[in-house]
Chains A and B, each alone.
Chain A
Amino acid sequence: MATLVISQSPVGGFSFENCKRNAVLEGEANKVGCSLPAARKTGTTICGVVFKDGVILGADTRATEGMIVADKNCSKIHYISPNIYCCGAGTAADTEMTTQIISSNLELHALSTGRLPRVATANRMLKQMLFRYQGYIGAALVLGGMDCNGPHLYSIYPHGSTDKLPYVTMGSGSLAAMAVFEDRYKPDMEEEEAKRLVRDAIAAGIFNDLGSGSNIDLCVITKGKLDYIRPHDEANKKGVRTGDYKYKRGTTGVLSKTTLNLEVVEETVQTMDTS
């Protein structure tokens, strides 16, 4: 007798089983009395502008956890390919992982086609992934780069819609940055003028939006040249304290002491990347 193969008829539409699982997990966590860890949002100002020879992307460097600053100097401009970079706002883990996944897939795609990847391809890959997750991946992106068809700039929203525009802003400080763009943007600007414009737009977000702060990072993408300037402008220096708060040895009370005598078998040195 031939073995019967029980096949599941293909289920149409999206599968939301993980949503049910997450709801159950959250219920169980609440019953015990704890809550699931809140995703850290970047509360950001990011922007991009197309100028005469290419594209400039700008971002602030503050990451917040609620209303506390978690990271004073995080990097929000992510690498996609040598000619394409992407700024990310929203949930920090989502922007980081999404850009890494698309960067990896794009590299494989470029090897398969034998050509430099195009910005439209990266845009298509990002929007298809974000739409597949129906907005649950909280990544709002500004994608910019230079390819064989010229400079391109896209804004990508968490639900998967995209806009192809000459200047875009995203994040909690997007209104402040867009105000600067709407005032001073002109088509076909020179590089220095465009860098000043992006710097001022991010500065508007840094000083007027509580979710953005610290320094301004810039990424200038032109044909054949890429400038990742981090930081372009240290708009806020760390406050200098006048007092001395060093503690003398022995200030921390020692309750008990146990010594384990270990035998040194091998000693190796591994340099740490402190860049």
Chain B
Amino acid sequence: MISSHTLADPGKMRDYHYTGPVEHRFSPYSFNGGTVLAVAGEDFAIVASDTRLSEGYSIHSRDSPKCYKLTDTTVIGCSGFHGDCLTLTKIIDARLKMYKHSNNKTMTSGAIAAMLSTILYGRRFFPYYVYNIIGGLDEHGKGAVYSFDPVGSYQRDTYKAGGSASAMLQPLLDNQIGFKNMEGVQHVPLTQDKAVQLVKDVFISAAERDVYTGDALRVCIITKEGISEQTIPLRKD
């Protein structure tokens, strides 16, 4: 008795012929890369961001910083979709002016954070694709950092990294500023110079491994004297 084997079924292969109308979805968002970082000290705050604006595998601009000055004591860092970053900062600026005109005083960092939370949640069902971090001085002159998610959940932190290389930076900050996972180390309070040096080193490391981070680093240092800015070069590849 001879049994016959069935011919092998070619299996589920891609069809190369036209199968009818295909629906292409238009996405209203695009990811423009970038990393932001904020650190709060005893009497200062630092907000830093890289200056590379990218899309897909291309670079749109090597000089597009993501820190925006809001008041003399507050800077916001926004990364994610650049279109929403620009619109959101314009809306925040307008709301700051409105508050100033009706209350005759500048908004404090905590007030700006609370306001941003409501602005973001107002667009709960078509969110601003922006990862925000606010850095500044609170009413007592101490450093404050507020970190947000795209729909407005926020909390006050000592340090926070956001954006494309955040997963690489945050553990390093946890170790160096928060003294996590270390034993027998003296918990010295963070000085301004040490903080600036740490921020620069941390971005240099992020630029090595994250393709979206690079070109240059913009550091904004907020003290009661005002806001000073530094720009240092990073890897350009």
Given contacts A13-B10, A19-B11, are A207 and B209 in contact (CB under 8 A)? no
Q: How far is the CB of A128 from chain B (nearest CB, A)?
A: 20
Let me know if A239 and B211 touch, CB within 8 A: no
The interface bits of chain B over 49-66 (1 if a CB of A lies within 8 angstroms of the residue's CB, else 0) are 000001011110000000
Does A172 belong to the interface (CB within 8 Å)?
Answer: yes
Contact A8 B5 (CB under 8 A): yes
Residue B208 interfacial (CB < 8 Å): yes
Bits for B181-224, please: 1 = Cβ < 8 Å to A, else 0: 11111000000001001101100110111111000000000000
What range describes how many residues of A lie at the interface? 35 or more
Against B, the Cβ 8 Å flags (1 = close, 0 = not) of A214-245 are 10000000000000000000011011111101
Closest Cβ of chain A to B38, distance in Å, is 19
A250 within 8 A of B: yes
- Residues of the A chain whose Cβ atoms lie less than 8 Å from the Cβ of B3: 6
CB pair B7–A11 under 8 Å, yes or no, is yes
Q: Are B237 and A214 in contact (CB under 8 A)?
A: yes
* Bound Cα distance A15, B2 (Å): 23
Chain A residues with Cβ below 8 Å from B208 are 69, 72, 238-239
Contact present for B210 and A236 (CB under 8 Å): no
Smallest beta-carbon distance A72→chain B, Å: 7
Whether A117 is near chain B, meaning CB under 8 Å from some CB there, is no
In the complex, which of the residues A72, A173, A247 contacts B182, with contact meaning CB atoms closer than 8 Å?
A247
Contact of B183 among A11, A173, A252 (CB under 8 A): A252
Whether A15 and B212, one on each chain, are in contact in the complex, defined by CB atoms closer than 8 angstroms, is no
Q: At the interface, yes or no: A145 with Cβ under 8 Å from chain B?
A: no
Closest-CB distance, A30 to chain B (whole angstroms) = 16
Q: B37 at the A/B interface (Cβ < 8 Å)? A: no
**Is residue B123 within 8 Å, beta carbon to beta carbon, of the partner chain?**
no
Q: What is the CB-to-nearest-CB distance from B191 to chain A, in angstroms, rounded to a whole number? A: 12
User: Is A273 an interface residue, CB under 8 A from the partner?
Assistant: no
> Within 8 Å of chain A (Cβ to Cβ): is B120?
no
Min distance, Cβ A208 to any Cβ of chain B, angstroms: 6
Q: Select which of A14, A16, A64, A207 is within 8 A of B211 by beta carbon.
A: A64
Residue on B nearest A209 in the bound complex, by CB: B57
Is the CB–CB distance between A11 and B8 below 8 Å? yes
CB distance from A195 to the nearest CB of B (A): 20
Asked if A271 is an interface residue, CB under 8 A from chain B, the answer is no
| A11–B10 alpha-carbon span in the complex (Å) | 11
Instruction: Say whether A256 faces chain B, with CB atoms less than 8 Å apart.
Output: no
In whole angstroms, how far apart are the Cα atoms of A252 and B208 in the complex?
Answer: 26
Do A242 and B236 touch across chains, with their CB atoms under 8 A apart?
no
Chain A residue numbers with a CB within 8 Å of B100 are none
> A68 to B9, alpha carbons, bound, how many Å?
40
Q: How far is the CB of A101 from chain B (nearest CB, A)?
A: 25
Is the CB–CB distance between A211 and B59 below 8 Å? no
- Identity of the chain B residue whose Cβ is nearest the Cβ of A212 in the assembled complex: B237
B57–A210 contact, CB under 8 A?
Answer: yes
Say whether A274 faces chain B, with CB atoms less than 8 Å apart: no
Q: Is A43 an interface residue (CB 8 A)?
A: yes
The verdict on B13 contacting chain A, using a C-beta distance below 8 Å, is yes
Question: When A and B form their complex, which 4 residue pairs have the shortest distance between CB atoms, in order from nearest?
Answer: A239-B204, A213-B237, A241-B201, A210-B211
Give 16 pairs: A residue, B residue, CB < 8 Å, sorted on A.
Answer: A4-B2, A13-B10, A16-B13, A19-B12, A19-B13, A68-B209, A68-B211, A209-B58, A210-B211, A212-B237, A213-B237, A239-B204, A239-B234, A242-B201, A251-B184, A252-B182
List chain B positions with a Cβ less than 8 A from chain A.
Answer: 2-5, 7-13, 54, 56-59, 164, 176, 181-185, 194, 197-198, 200-201, 204-205, 207-212, 234-237
Known A14-B10, A209-B57; further 5 A-B contacts with Cβ < 8 A: A9-B5, A16-B10, A20-B11, A67-B211, A236-B237
